[in-house]
Structure 1
Amino acid sequence: MADIFGQALLDYQSGNYTEDIKTFSSLDEEDTIPLPYLFRGFDKMPILEQKALQLAKGKVLDIGCGAGNHALYLQKKGMDITGLDTSVGAIEVCKKRGVQNTISSSILDYTNVKYDTLLLLMNGIGLAGKLTDLSSFLQHLKSLLSPNGQILLDSSDIIYMFDQDEDGGVWVPNTGKYYGEVQFYMEYKGKKSLLFHWLYLDFNTLQNACLDNNLKCELVSEGEHYDYLAKLSIRS
């Protein structure tokens, strides 16, 4: 599979920035991911991301670390931080930017190490893919947590993308699956990625899934546009 995301990051890092990543989704929307945004510093991060980084403690794993923005910030604060990404290009960029500890792996293939904080930012819980896979995903994250560890994640309730009727009700198509399940592919410099599944979770659904998996789920903060930051921990 072509590492389109990694190639875009490498191009930007090497000063070869000519276009952004295009994304196409099952929501019938074409969008772009501006490459400069993927290299932002702390001051340009959304408030929820800043809050998550301020709450990070102990030994930290940044899951889906991308170009390493979060890892670099925590590293500069003297924290024990490791960046993990499936994208080989992303990990190469992290190393070029000075991230000291990196892992090139899928989170589901990564085992046997315990962390005090797992970061899943920029809607990182989306990696679960589908609602039916959320429980096994949460169980795997739990297996990477130290006894008093925490998972910090942000997500969005995409209910706002569906039509509202006059009394404020929302018309969600009856597709037989959860409305936050979206399929994407990316395009960059004429190359397309494979189709992949991504999960946007409303907070109540996350809470219920946590309850089923013996996890405590706290709402830390809400953003301005149906987004939120949550903290998960193992129930004692």
Structure 2
Amino acid sequence: MADAFGRMVEDFHHGRLVERPVYRRDDGHVSEAHLAGYFADYNDWSDLEKRMAERVSGSVLDVGCGVGRTTLWARREGHAVCGVDRSPGAIRVARERGIERAAVGDMTALGIDTGFDTVLVVGKQLGLGRSRAALRGTLAELARVTEPGGRLVADLNDPTHPDARAEPEYLNERTVEEGLTYRRFRVEYDGLVGPWIDLLMTSPATLRGVAEETGWTVEAVVESETSAYAVVLGR
């Protein structure tokens, strides 16, 4: 499948965009890709992301690192950090930006044996998939690469939050169970069409139940004014 996301961020990074990339949802809805956000410095992060950063300690595995936005921050803060993303183009950009430890990989099968003190998953990517079983599998894989006593810090969207109900018909058609819904979209740029990406939206209560099935303990839930929230899971 074409790496539309990778081409998009590479061209943006090198100042050679040929058109505005878009995200196409599975119902046909199209929105413009927010490219600057992938490169945002710490000062431009959301309040929720900054509060997530406060929970990071020790060695860090940045899963779904993209072009290295959070990876670079972790390194500047003195953490030993490794970034992983399934987009080869994004990893090329991350390396160009000075991240030596950046590799192509899928969070559901990382191919990493090293244990980390903190696994960081920013961008609502923890819910990759469209089922409870998919979320369970991802959490189990991330537990495998987390040291005992370590933690997972991730953000998600709560489908039961009023802010998430702006398009109830869309979400209702994709509800897996109470508190668990998914969105499906893909990146389109310069004639390239990326793979469909399914991202789960899960309520904190539902996430707690799935996490406990995979050996995690919920240490904290960090709420925001929107449907976005962060969770800190402990091993």
Please identify, of 82-91 and 109-118, the stretch whose mean Cα deviation from structure 2 is larger.
Answer: 109-118
Task: After TM superposition, list the pairs within 5 Å mapping 1:110-149 onto structure 2.
Answer: 110=110, 111-149=112-150
How far apart are 1:8 and its partner, in Å? 0.7
3-state SS, counterpart of residue 117 of structure 1: strand
Distance 2:133 2:25 in 1: 20
Instruction: Tell me the residue number matched to 1:87.
Output: 87
Instruction: Tell me the residue number matched to 1:69.
Output: 69
> Which amino acid counterpart does residue 219 of structure 2 have in structure 1?
E
Instruction: Tell me the residue number matched to 1:177.
Output: 176
Instruction: Tell me the residue number matched to 1:228.
Output: 229
Instruction: Tell me the residue number matched to 1:211.
Output: 212
Instruction: Tell me the residue number matched to 1:53.
Output: 53
- Structure-1-length-normalised TM-score: 0.88
Q: 1:47 to 1:141 in 2, by over 3 A?
A: same
> Which amino acid counterpart does residue 39 of structure 1 have in structure 2?
F
How far apart are 1:129 and its partner, in Å? 4.1
3-state SS, counterpart of residue 17 of structure 1: coil
How far apart are 1:230 and its partner, in Å? 0.6
Residues 10-33 of structure 1, C-alpha deviations (whole Å, 9 max, x = no match)? 101111135443112236532222
Instruction: Tell me the residue number matched to 1:167.
Output: none
Residues 7-60 of structure 1, C-alpha deviations (whole Å, 9 max, x = no match)? 111101111135443112236532222211111100111111112222211110
Task: Report the identity percentage.
Answer: 24
Please identify, of 151-160 and 173-182, the stretch whose mean Cα deviation from structure 2 is larger.
Answer: 173-182
Distance 2:95 2:229 in 1: 30
> Which amino acid counterpart does residue 118 of structure 2 have in structure 1?
T
Residues 139-185 of structure 1, C-alpha deviations (whole Å, 9 max, x = no match)? 11111110111000001113444469xxxxx7763667245212212
Unaligned runs of 5+ in 2: none
The yes-or-no answer on 1:13 pairing with 2:33 is no
- Displaced runs of 4+ in structure 1, greater than 4 A? none
Distance 1:29 1:201 in 2: 22
How far apart are 1:217 and its partner, in Å? 1.1
Please identify, of 19-28 and 53-62, the stretch whose mean Cα deviation from structure 2 is larger.
Answer: 19-28
Question: Does the aligned pair in 1 maintain the 2:60–2:118 contact within 8 Å?
Answer: yes
Distance 1:90 1:149 in 2: 27
Q: 1:161 to 1:28 in 2, by over 3 A?
A: farther
> Which amino acid counterpart does residue 138 of structure 2 have in structure 1?
F
Please identify, of 221-230 and 121-130, the stretch whose mean Cα deviation from structure 2 is larger.
Answer: 121-130
> Which amino acid counterpart does residue 227 of structure 2 have in structure 1?
Y
> Which amino acid counterpart does residue 158 of structure 1 have in structure 2?
P
Q: 1:163 to 1:43 in 2, by over 3 A?
A: closer
Question: Does the aligned pair in 1 maintain the 2:174–2:183 contact within 8 Å?
Answer: no
Unaligned runs of 5+ in 1: 165-169
Distance 2:232 2:27 in 1: 28
3-state SS, counterpart of residue 107 of structure 1: coil
> Which amino acid counterpart does residue 4 of structure 1 have in structure 2?
A
How far apart are 1:98 and its partner, in Å? 0.9
How far apart are 1:106 and its partner, in Å? 1.1
Instruction: Tell me the residue number matched to 2:35.
Output: 35
Instruction: Tell me the residue number matched to 1:158.
Output: 159
Task: Give me the CA root mean square deviation.
Answer: 2.1
3-state SS, counterpart of residue 43 of structure 2: helix
> Which amino acid counterpart does residue 183 of structure 1 have in structure 2?
R
Distance 1:33 1:43 in 2: 21
3-state SS, counterpart of residue 158 of structure 1: coil
How far apart are 1:82 and its partner, in Å? 0.7
How far apart are 1:108 and its partner, in Å? 2.4
